[in-house]
Amino acid sequence: MTALGGTILVVEDDDSMRRAIERLLKAAGFECAGHASAEALLARGIDEDSACVICDLRLPGMSGLELLATLRERDISLPFILVTAHDSPGLRQKAMQRGAAAYLAKPFRGTALIETIRQVSGQL
Q: Is the predicted pLDDT of residue 98 greater than 70, yes or no?
A: yes
**For 77-97, what is each residue's pLDDT tens digit?**
999 999 999 888 899 999 999
The answer to whether the beta carbons of residues 117 and 110 sit under 8 Å apart is no
Quote the distance between the C-alpha of residue 11 and its chain's center: 6
Q: Is residue 50 part of a domain?
A: yes
Rg (CA), the chain: 13
- In the chain, the N- to C-terminal Cα span, in Å, equals 17
Q: Is residue 52 part of a domain?
A: yes
Domains in the chain, number: 1
Q: Is residue 107 part of a domain?
A: yes
Q: What is the pLDDT of residue 1?
A: 33
Q: Is residue 110 part of a domain?
A: yes
Q: What is the pLDDT of residue 47?
A: 85
Q: Is the predicted pLDDT of residue 3 greater than 70, yes or no?
A: no
3-state per-residue secondary structure call for 26-50 = HHCCCCEEEECCHHHHHHHCCCCCC
Q: Is residue 79 part of a domain?
A: yes
Q: Is residue 1 part of a domain?
A: no
3-state secondary structure of 11: strand
The answer to whether the beta carbons of residues 82 and 55 sit under 8 Å apart is yes
Give this prediction's pTM. Answer: 0.91
Q: Is residue 2 part of a domain?
A: no
Q: Is the predicted pLDDT of residue 2 greater than 60, yes or no?
A: no
Instruction: Tell me which of 2 and 64 has the higher pLDDT.
Output: 64
Q: Tell me what the pLDDT averaged over the chain comes to.
A: 91
Q: Is residue 92 part of a domain?
A: yes
**For 8-45, what is each residue's pLDDT tens digit?**
999 999 999 999 999 999 999 999 999 999 999 999 98
Residues 6 or more apart in contact with residue 115 via CB below 8 angstroms: none
Q: Which domain CATH number covers 117?
A: 3.40.50.2300
DSSP string, 58-88: S-SSS-HHHHHHHHHHTT----EEEEES---
Q: Which domain holds residue 85?
A: 8-121
